[in-house]
Structure 1
Amino acid sequence: MAPQDSLLFKVRRCEAELVRPAKPTPRKYKRLSDLDDREGLRFLIPAIQFYRGDSTGRDPVRTIREGLANALVFYYPFAGRLREWPGRKLVVDCNGEGVAFVEAEADVTLDQFGDALHPPFPCLEELLFNIPGPFSVLDSPLLLIQVTRLKCGGFVFAVHLNHTMSDAMGLVQFLKAVGEMARGANGPSVLPVWQRELLDARDPPRVTCTHREFDQVADSKRTLIRLDDMDYRSFIFGPDQMSTLRNGLPPHQRTSSRFEILTACLWRCRTIALQHDPEEEVRLLCIVNARTKFDPPLPAGYYGNAYAFPAAVTSAGKLCQNPLGYALELVKKAKAQVTEEYMRSLADLLVIRGRSRVREVWSFMVSDTTKAGFGDVDFGWGKAMYGGPATGALGADPTFSSMFILFRNWQGETSIVVTVCLPAPVMQRFVQELDALLKGPPATTARNKKSPFLISSM
């Protein structure tokens, strides 16, 4: 099979159409929560699903279009448009205008993508529809969907979501509802719950917790990473790699979660590779799903943004000179900050500061999508061969973040794919650090001698 990173193909798109709810829906305005309409979420997040075909001859485009229209009866806010009220408060005008939908065909088979399906994907811009021109959070479809038939009978489902509407968990909840309706259900098994007021600021707002992720620090040392000569790679961490990392920790830390260990590993190796001034303050932002942090927990059908990104903060010198266990303890302490009170305080802070953005100078954000359930979305052709983020980056700056993505090979074995984007010279040092930590051979750019855990680059 052809290597994924050298695959080229063409996609023929039909004109975009608007898919509206299959039945009349309420016409009203619905406010987003104070966690939803923060400044840092006013962009599109892309997700993509790959499916094998079957012998039934069903058309995935028609099936999914019908399932989508039926699901929008229940999730009718997605068919609306965002408006801005005084104070830049975002609300959904539930006017039933519909979501953007594109039918397409590609002259490629699923097998031609190679042995592994994972970011970075070849010709992604061909599979993922976007409205031409500058993005506007207002007056635009809240979902942009493209279904692309493949030569083999399989298909690709790709979606852009306006992030103010939902996080990854909320998007998957909606996609599962589309799948259930496409398979003939009369309604979703999990009914949607709006109730965005559950995550609004208190009255009056009061910041009761420390939120180091919002520290305002001037970039006096020109520390922002330039976005030229970038190297974007994916790395795989299977049982062998995780065992090596775990066994390298002190016995009392070996029960730490896979997310905690991998996050600490990436943060430390990345910081070493960037060659910071030892006194420079660096921070890690780890995204934490807060749905179960409330008492009682948020309703099962809640599909708004319900996460925090607590910060672990230290100096570059301490992070690089101490063993991995030092970074690991910082990650665990950061995660433990997220409580119901922390979430209340976060909403209050965002209102007081005017939807403040997180600090990006020498920050590194990590998101774990392995438990979101993208791969379990079934439109009638079974589970996805790959389901998850399309790019492996959060926001416009790919150097700021990494994602953990569930990876299944063709034999059904699961591992974690980690996406990393860095300037080329920094990436070389990053790979060397990972190689040394995993006791692998020296890193090289030669394709036949690349790191055992490097699975693709673009």
Structure 2
Amino acid sequence: MASSTLPLVFRVRRQDPKLLVPSKPTPHELKQLSDIDDQEGFRFQVPVIMFYKNNPSMEGKDPASVIREALAKALVFYYPFAGRLVEGPNRKLSVDCTAEGVLFIEADANVELDRLGDTVGPGCPYLEELLYDVPGSDGIVGCPLLLIQVTRFSCGGFTFAIRLNHTMSDGSGLMQFLNTIAEFAQQPQTKITPSVPPIWQRHLLSARQPPSITCPHHEYDQALAGAATTTTTANKTTTSHHEYDQALAGAAATTTTTTAKETTTIDRSFFFGAKEIRAIRNHLPHHHHSTTATTFELLTACVWQCRTRALCLAPDETVRVSCIVNGRGNKYGLNLPPGYYGNVITYPTAMTKAGMLSMLPLGYALELVKKAKAQVSEEYFRSVADLMVIKGRPLYSLDGNKDYIVSDTTRAGFDKVDFGWGMPVFGGVPRAISLISFFARFRDIRGGEDVIVVPMSLPESVMDRFEQELKKMIHKPISML
């Protein structure tokens, strides 16, 4: 798949944004978010987009009208989405369930969907046209919690794009809501209630009384003022690899640090098919070639290592990667009821020195990633919630480009939401958001291999070096959007 900016004039004609309210009266009440929900690190908007081809069996049906009616029905059950966030003492967020509504935009594009080619995947250059940022709508407190745009293409295909205030839900919670919309869209006459009734109960992930931080949380090191702890932990990772001391000493002598204040970032997305994944796995010792390393762990280790090399940091600088971990199900013992649609995610952190990560084999990075994920337990989640209360809801530690977050959405289900036109040719987060890469599944709109796409956002010179590092890892050019 080649990089392309299609030589077409792409125009979207939008109707005025409208507030869409629940189709029936809903309770007016104040509902608190959990202490996992309202941490500073979730106070941002996350977009998701889905591309649908024309379906002859839906001839005469307007996707915007079908989805608008289904959305209004879904909001009867998910009525907090139609409210507005308010901030109370200690920055505690609650939803004022006012039924003011969500923003809905109906639009038409002047081209056929097939003309967009590869660009329907992550890195979509037309995102701003397909999900219009209504002025004044992108705040956290006092703003609509959802922005939705349905754009019809001249071929009969369409896009469904949604922007979510992340404090309200994670990917799994959003998927539950989207599936409810899809149910009402497919069964407008017979569907009465969602198959999975939504459950609020955010108190289940609120801080304990009294709160107590019982686990290390390096993702919040700056807030915890844990410089001493950070240094100690990082140094421990360097003492068990004396066999590489000479190479590391050479790295310290030869590494060129990045000093230019390059602040403009660019977005690119990289494809990893079966061949690329096999090539990366071949860099591991034999004992890693089994299923002990998941594809997500493997790609995270690879991308983190290549990214660190591309940054050209001083060898003794600390770098971190955080992996989003979903706490649903029985694995972590949180015992949340089916239908709970709040945030049930945390992001444990792997950390080391830039010189170590750059010079040591891929297996070293992989072990760090696996150990970070293995930290997560019910107690870890409880400790995060308590930390939010004790430390004033701190932001994830950000130290330039040295911190990086990855989220695996390949099994989230965004590529399976069916409003009646079949499954989308692509569904997922369309771009990297700052330091976060969302791994997604993708198949070329014209057919082809299913691949995993990793979007990246980096300064241009760093991005070029990152691409070269990936090429070295795979021994051939990386397919790139």
Does TM-score exceed 0.5, indicating one fold? yes
Please give the secondary structure, in 1, of the residue aligned with 2:356.
helix
Contact map agreement 2:28 2:98 (CA 8 A) in 1: yes
Are the structure 2 counterparts of residues 250 and 142 from structure 1 closer, same or farther at C-alpha, using a change threshold of 3 Å?
A: same
2:26 partner letter: T
Are the structure 2 counterparts of residues 80 and 167 from structure 1 closer, same or farther at C-alpha, using a change threshold of 3 Å?
A: same
1:38 CA drift (Å): 0.9
1:173 CA drift (Å): 1.0
1:119 CA drift (Å): 1.7
Greater shift in the superposed pair: 428-437 or 115-124 = 115-124
- In structure 1, the partner of 2:461 is 425
2:15 partner letter: C
Greater shift in the superposed pair: 408-417 or 146-155 = 408-417
The structure 2 residue matched to 1:200, chosen from 180, 203, 206, is: 206
- In structure 1, the partner of 2:155 is 152
Greater shift in the superposed pair: 266-275 or 292-301 = 292-301
Are the structure 2 counterparts of residues 241 and 44 from structure 1 closer, same or farther at C-alpha, using a change threshold of 3 Å?
A: same
1:39 CA drift (Å): 1.1
Could you tell me how far apart the structure 2 residues matched to 1:350 and 1:386 are?
A: 36
- In structure 2, the partner of 1:287 is 324
Greater shift in the superposed pair: 63-72 or 76-85 = 76-85
Unpaired runs of at least 5, structure 2: 228-256
Contact map agreement 2:85 2:143 (CA 8 A) in 1: yes
Contact map agreement 2:149 2:162 (CA 8 A) in 1: yes
RMSD: 2.0
1:377 CA drift (Å): 0.7
Could you tell me how far apart the structure 1 residues matched to 2:473 and 2:133 are?
A: 40
- In structure 1, the partner of 2:25 is 24
Unpaired runs of at least 5, structure 1: 441-450
Whether 1:302 and 2:357 are equivalent positions in the alignment is: no
- In structure 1, the partner of 2:174 is 171
- In structure 2, the partner of 1:37 is 38
- In structure 2, the partner of 1:454 is 479
Please give the secondary structure, in 2, of the residue aligned with 1:130.
coil
1:215 CA drift (Å): 0.8
Please give the secondary structure, in 2, of the residue aligned with 1:455.
coil
- In structure 2, the partner of 1:161 is 164
More helix by share: 2
The structure 2 residue matched to 1:389, chosen from 411, 429, 436, is: 429
The structure 1 residue matched to 2:300, chosen from 251, 263, 267, is: 263
1:241 CA drift (Å): 0.5
Could you tell me how far apart the structure 1 residues matched to 2:262 and 2:146 are?
A: 28
- In structure 2, the partner of 1:415 is 451
Whether 1:357 and 2:395 are equivalent positions in the alignment is: yes
Question: What are the within-5 Å matches in structure 2 for residues 115-264 of structure 1?
Answer: 115=118, 117-133=120-136, 135-184=138-187, 185-216=191-222, 228-254=263-289, 255=291, 256-264=293-301
- In structure 2, the partner of 1:374 is 414
- In structure 2, the partner of 1:444 is none
Please give the secondary structure, in 2, of the residue aligned with 1:267.
helix
1:2 CA drift (Å): 11
Deviations 1:286-332 (A, max 9, x none): 11111134325322211111101101011111111100000000000
1:171 CA drift (Å): 0.8
Between the two proteins, the alignment pairs up a number of residues equal to: 437
Could you tell me how far apart the structure 2 residues matched to 1:338 and 1:22 are?
A: 41
Please give the secondary structure, in 2, of the residue aligned with 1:18.
strand
Please give the secondary structure, in 2, of the residue aligned with 1:291.
coil
1:134 CA drift (Å): 7.4
Please give the secondary structure, in 2, of the residue aligned with 1:241.
helix
The structure 2 residue matched to 1:331, chosen from 369, 372, 390, is: 369
- In structure 2, the partner of 1:445 is none
2:92 partner letter: K
- In structure 1, the partner of 2:245 is none
1:455 CA drift (Å): 2.4
Could you tell me how far apart the structure 1 residues matched to 2:367 and 2:280 are?
A: 15
Please give the secondary structure, in 2, of the residue aligned with 1:144.
strand
Could you tell me how far apart the structure 2 residues matched to 1:134 and 1:296 are?
A: 34
Are the structure 2 counterparts of residues 434 and 223 from structure 1 closer, same or farther at C-alpha, using a change threshold of 3 Å?
A: closer
1:343 partner letter: F
Could you tell me how far apart the structure 2 residues matched to 1:49 and 1:242 are?
A: 26
Please give the secondary structure, in 1, of the residue aligned with 2:396.
coil
Could you tell me how far apart the structure 2 residues matched to 1:172 and 1:131 are?
A: 23
Greater shift in the superposed pair: 291-300 or 428-437 = 291-300
- In structure 1, the partner of 2:51 is 50
Contact map agreement 1:365 1:402 (CA 8 A) in 2: yes
- In structure 2, the partner of 1:311 is 349
- In structure 2, the partner of 1:275 is 312
Contact map agreement 1:26 1:94 (CA 8 A) in 2: yes
TM-score, with structure 2 as normaliser: 0.87
Whether 1:107 and 2:110 are equivalent positions in the alignment is: yes
- Off by >3 Å, runs of 4+ in structure 1: 1-4, 222-229
1:431 CA drift (Å): 1.2
1:202 partner letter: R
Contact map agreement 2:137 2:144 (CA 8 A) in 1: no
Please give the secondary structure, in 2, of the residue aligned with 1:454.
coil
Please give the secondary structure, in 2, of the residue aligned with 1:235.
strand
Could you tell me how far apart the structure 2 residues matched to 1:294 and 1:339 are?
A: 5
Could you tell me how far apart the structure 2 residues matched to 1:112 and 1:26 are?
A: 45
1:191 partner letter: P
Please give the secondary structure, in 2, of the residue aligned with 1:205.
coil
Could you tell me how far apart the structure 1 residues matched to 2:369 and 2:438 are?
A: 16
Could you tell me how far apart the structure 2 residues matched to 1:49 and 1:367 are?
A: 18
Please give the secondary structure, in 2, of the residue aligned with 1:5.
coil
The structure 2 residue matched to 1:71, chosen from 74, 77, 101, is: 74
Are the structure 2 counterparts of residues 78 and 249 from structure 1 closer, same or farther at C-alpha, using a change threshold of 3 Å?
A: same
Could you tell me how far apart the structure 1 residues matched to 2:448 and 2:74 are?
A: 30
